[in-house]
Homo-oligomer: A and B are copies of this chain.
């Protein structure tokens, strides 16, 4: 009988090892994956086809208001934490691939058009740091130094734009900077001074043409036409802002969930229960739509026909749907306490909602408005699907 049993045991172990490897990381596409941020420092990796979690990854630090971008192959999520953590999560293996704590404070980052660089905006010390997307090795640091005394500004509104460039705003300096990384041996920075008082957030239009910064220190928006840099920054929508009110910064609408398309931008009014309609030809207000509370995010279904709007407390238990043709609220959903984030599947057949206060993620059918699924989650916040990998200004 000799070695028989030992060989059998070895055979068994080998098979178990091989099979475990397969079970841990089955062969699968990544186009229908995504992550749900949980406040306590974890992400759930979810499958939007089966509408089930496939892994939970923790140890990511402080993820309050964390944001996420994706590698071109849609395998890796880069998670930017509040504590300066930059974590590269392997969605297929369901584990951390790499993690650094790059500096004291961030939550915003971007990936270059070519997918090879990750940029992170920092408050303390103010500046942008750029890392190699594959290894997270530091590539360059761009301190946000301004004025003659060498002060450093907090950086906001960092975003990627075509040509392997990054654009961002300097809150304390009132400037917008454009970094060109196309030539890896020679990065260049172009600075636009006097962009406006205290830019607090920024976005780029979906085509990558216009960079828009919201202003806290004065009314209006700063607009930079990336197709015509020599024209410099101009001011648009002169009445958009807090006016004479003493609003805290956290009450200013975030711009990164403005909805822009078909010549129209739909944006939360400041401190009012309204969605503003902006005509993007002349950047003027073209209407107002009354809604159930102070809008937080106004997001367009991918086909642009409808807008889904969530609200600040105490109206954060509901979501309203607006038909852009009639500008009427056509549906009011009441998912539950603390609807803090919404994300459409790439082709718009479903919308996923983080119902923070109920520890749930709900999935709605966008044709019937019925809830078709729900997933347990621990204080869920942002939801980010891998299709973002393919978009400019992720």
Query: A209 is contacted by which of B75, B304, B348 (Cβ under 8 Å)?
Result: B304
Q: Are A114 and B349 in contact (CB under 8 A)?
A: yes
Instruction: List the B side residues contacting A305 at CB < 8 Å.
Output: 162, 207-209, 227
Instruction: List the B side residues contacting A14 at CB < 8 Å.
Output: 11, 14-15, 18
How many angstroms from the CA of A19 to the CA of B8 in the assembled complex? 19
Report the interface size for chain A: residues with CB under 8 A from the other chain: 68
Residue A150 at the B interface, CB < 8 A?
Answer: no
Residue A273 at the B interface, CB < 8 A?
Answer: no
Segment of A66-74, A213-221, A242-250, A354-362 in the binding face? A66-74
Q: In angstroms, how far is the closest chain B Cβ from the Cβ of A134?
A: 10
Q: Are A209 and B29 in contact (CB under 8 A)?
A: no
Q: In angstroms, how far is the closest chain B Cβ from the Cβ of A304?
A: 5
Residue A31 at the B interface, CB < 8 A?
Answer: yes
Residue A392 at the B interface, CB < 8 A?
Answer: yes
How many angstroms from the CA of A18 to the CA of B29 in the assembled complex? 20
How many angstroms from the CA of A72 to the CA of B34 in the assembled complex? 13
Q: Are A29 and B92 in contact (CB under 8 A)?
A: yes
How many angstroms from the CA of A146 to the CA of B4 in the assembled complex? 74
Counting chain B CB atoms within 10 Å of each CB, the highest count among A18, A29, A114, A346 belongs to A29
Residue A238 at the B interface, CB < 8 A?
Answer: no
Q: Are A347 and B75 in contact (CB under 8 A)?
A: no
Q: Which residue of B lies closest to A306 (CB)?
A: B162
Q: Are A389 and B31 in contact (CB under 8 A)?
A: yes
Residues 1-38 of A, flagged 1 when their CB comes within 8 A of B and 0 if not, give 11110011011001100110110010111111100000
Instruction: List the B side residues contacting A391 at CB < 8 Å.
Output: 346-347
Residue A182 at the B interface, CB < 8 A?
Answer: yes
Residues 381-393 of A, flagged 1 when their CB comes within 8 A of B and 0 if not, give 0000011011110
Q: In angstroms, how far is the closest chain B Cβ from the Cβ of A289?
A: 18
User: Which 10 residue pairs are nearest across A and B when measured between Cβ atoms?
Assistant: A31-B74, A29-B75, A7-B7, A18-B18, A29-B73, A346-B390, A208-B303, A3-B4, A29-B30, A387-B390
List the interface of chain A (C-beta within 8 A of B).
1-4, 7-8, 10-11, 14-15, 18-19, 21-22, 25, 27-33, 48-49, 70-76, 91-93, 113-115, 162-164, 182, 207-209, 227-228, 261-263, 301-305, 325, 345-349, 367-368, 386-387, 389-392
